[in-house]
Amino acid sequence: MAINWTETQIEEIVNKVVVGIQGNRTLSQSTWDSVSYCGRAFIGVYEKMEDAIAAAENGYRAVRAMSVAQREKLITVIRGMIRDEAPIMAALGVAETGMGRVDHKTAKHLLVADKTPGTEDIVPTVRTGDFGLTLTEMAPFGVVGSITPSTNPSETVLCNSIGMIAAANGVVFNPHPNAIATSNYAVDLINRASRAAGVPAVLVASMAKPTLDTANVMYKHPAIRLLVCTGGPGVVRAVLASGKKAIGAGAGNPPVIVDDTADIPKAAKDIIDGCTFDNNLPCIAEKEVFAFASIADELIAGMLKNGAYKITAAEAEKLAGIVLKDVKNPKTGIVKKAVARDCVGRDAKVLLEKIGIHVGDEIRCIICETSFDHLFVQEELMMPILPIVRVHNIDEAIELAVKAEHGNRHTAHMHSKNIDHLSRFAKAVETTIFVKNAPSYAGIGFGGEGHTTFTIAGPTGEGITSAKSFTRLRRCVMADSFRII
Ligand code: NAD
């Protein structure tokens, strides 16, 4: 596949990536900015949103002119390039955002390459009867406007692009301002793939300087037929208020229940593995545990064997004062707690150092016992900090876990062998994803059955989005004919 880099550029990239991965350290900023990487200008990145939308409209025309087989061929090229360049995007993501882990981000990109559905997801249906034949097709919307987060920046751009292209849409991105280079690297990858597959260069478009203003232009532009928003509550609210058809993939705060029938050593390992995946950035990752008091000590001991470090109640207060800040709403004057951005997605070791505790690299998670009201339980931290609340029975566990999920209907987890307990919690919590007896990432197809996505649309109900989520149904009726019986 033709990627127009010089040998020196390739060597430079490989060296930097290897250093980044080996030490889980970050790339030097001299190699990238929001419009280029190692001196190579990104294809499809614009200064003005109007120009980006015009390019995406051209992209839409190009993709509509392609046969299903041609789209699938293009997606195959995209998958191959994601596999090849996953370590680069992973290292760039960590370097640019300061969040997450290179090895886990690499795994997330490979998951996108392997398990994002393509054109096979677009399945027409046919109904025949006394009055003939009716065909229902999944048609493209046109140009999709997509808002993407800082937590899985290139993963979301790539996963959404595959689904949107499979459904024959054009797409313009307004990526997170803290992850522009990583997101635009992914946009460029799609456009290089389209070139390699022999279709026009700009298939998907993005912004050099995305802002709330450029997002607003997107919301109001007549060419945008569908908005897809992956982010926190503020942006999902803004997109749903736009007046356009919108898919909202919002915040979570996934609780975990561990009852007295669970395989406790396995539950301990699974919870720490899931909670620490990419330093807790995935919205599906375990955020708080409700453990039966009868097994809580054994569970905590198992976690300590798997890279957890337990802090005291006093240390938890000190840490809470650092990772959560008071933020005043300028309009209402109301003060609310918000996560300190410079703590999100950081290594457990780095967070512990902030309260004067020095540990080795083997420590990947901070655990503590708290009350239900503690901020660590109530706030979506997106850090490898896991509060554990002791409960006395399944009624209390379900009641508290449902409250802690805050009605996001996003994700919940349970470790149990009691099918009544499992069924009761699954029914009560009403989340889009419910994972039983596995790390959270099984819920997005990583060690679990089913396809993957990085846009989990709880608020608007599309669920684990895929190509068909980005389609509109169209009916074609042939009256009195084409029935063969
Ligand atoms: P964020 O909410 O800070 O930002 C998302 C994007 O929206 C950014 O581009 C940001 O600039 C923009 N934005 C924010 N407020 C806006 C507004 N009022 N109008 C227009 N644009 C606005 O996202 P983040 O911190 O990078 O991501 C973390 C959040 O996203 C967490 O809450 C996480 O749970 C959620 N998330 C959800 C999913 C999902 O699939 N449901 C996936 C990833 C992240």
CATH number for the domain spanning 412: value is 3.40.309.10
Q: Is 365 inside a domain boundary?
A: yes
Residues 194 and 85 in one domain: yes
Q: Is 319 inside a domain boundary?
A: yes
Atom of ligand 1 at shortest range from CA of 344: 25
Residue nearest (by alpha carbon) to ligand 1 atom 3: 232
Q: Is 111 inside a domain boundary?
A: yes
Residues 27 and 75 in one domain: yes
pLDDT at 13: 45
Residues 140 and 262 in one domain: no
Give distance in angstroms: CA of 293 to centre of ligand 1: 36
Dump pLDDT digits (tens) for 109-143: 999 999 999 999 999 999 999 999 999 999 999 99
Q: Is 358 inside a domain boundary?
A: yes
Which pair of structure tokens corresponds to residue 44?
């499809």
pLDDT at 8: 42
pLDDT at 27: 66
pLDDT at 19: 43
Which pair of structure tokens corresponds to residue 19?
């250093």
Cβ(459) – ligand 1 distance below 6 Å: no
Residues 337 and 238 in one domain: no
Residue nearest (by alpha carbon) to ligand 1 atom 8: 176
Give distance in angstroms: CA of 381 to centre of ligand 1: 14
Cβ(152) – ligand 1 distance below 6 Å: yes
Cβ(43) – ligand 1 distance below 6 Å: no
Cβ(230) – ligand 1 distance below 6 Å: yes
- Count of domains for the chain: 2
Residues 213 and 329 in one domain: no
Q: Is 485 inside a domain boundary?
A: no
pLDDT at 1: 35
Residues 472 and 420 in one domain: no
Cβ(169) – ligand 1 distance below 6 Å: no
Residues 245 and 263 in one domain: no
Residues 268 and 384 in one domain: yes
Residues 200 and 315 in one domain: no
Q: Is 128 inside a domain boundary?
A: yes
Give distance in angstroms: CA of 360 to centre of ligand 1: 32
CATH number for the domain spanning 111: value is 3.40.605.10
Sign of the four-CA dihedral 245, 241, 206, 48:
positive
Residues 315 and 415 in one domain: yes
pLDDT at 330: 86
Sign of the four-CA dihedral 392, 395, 399, 401:
positive
Cα(288)–Cα(290) distance, rounded to whole angstroms? 7
Atom of ligand 1 at shortest range from CA of 176: 9
Helix (H/G/I), strand (E/B), else coil: 484? coil
Give distance in angstroms: CA of 120 to centre of ligand 1: 29
Q: Is 202 inside a domain boundary?
A: yes
Range of the domain at 172: 4-250+462-476
Residues 45 and 95 in one domain: yes
Ligand 1 pocket test: pick from 156, 235, 327 the residue with the most ligand atoms within 8 Å of its Cβ.
235
Return the bridge partners of 185, or none.
none
pLDDT at 167: 98
Which residues of the chain, if any, have pLDDT below 50?
1-25
pLDDT at 26: 52
pLDDT at 30: 73
In sequence order, the 6+-apart residues with CB closer than 8 A to the CB of 437 are 262, 263, 266, 267, 270, 414, 415, 416, 417
Q: Is 453 inside a domain boundary?
A: no
CB atoms within 10 A of CB 36: 16
Residues 101 and 197 in one domain: yes
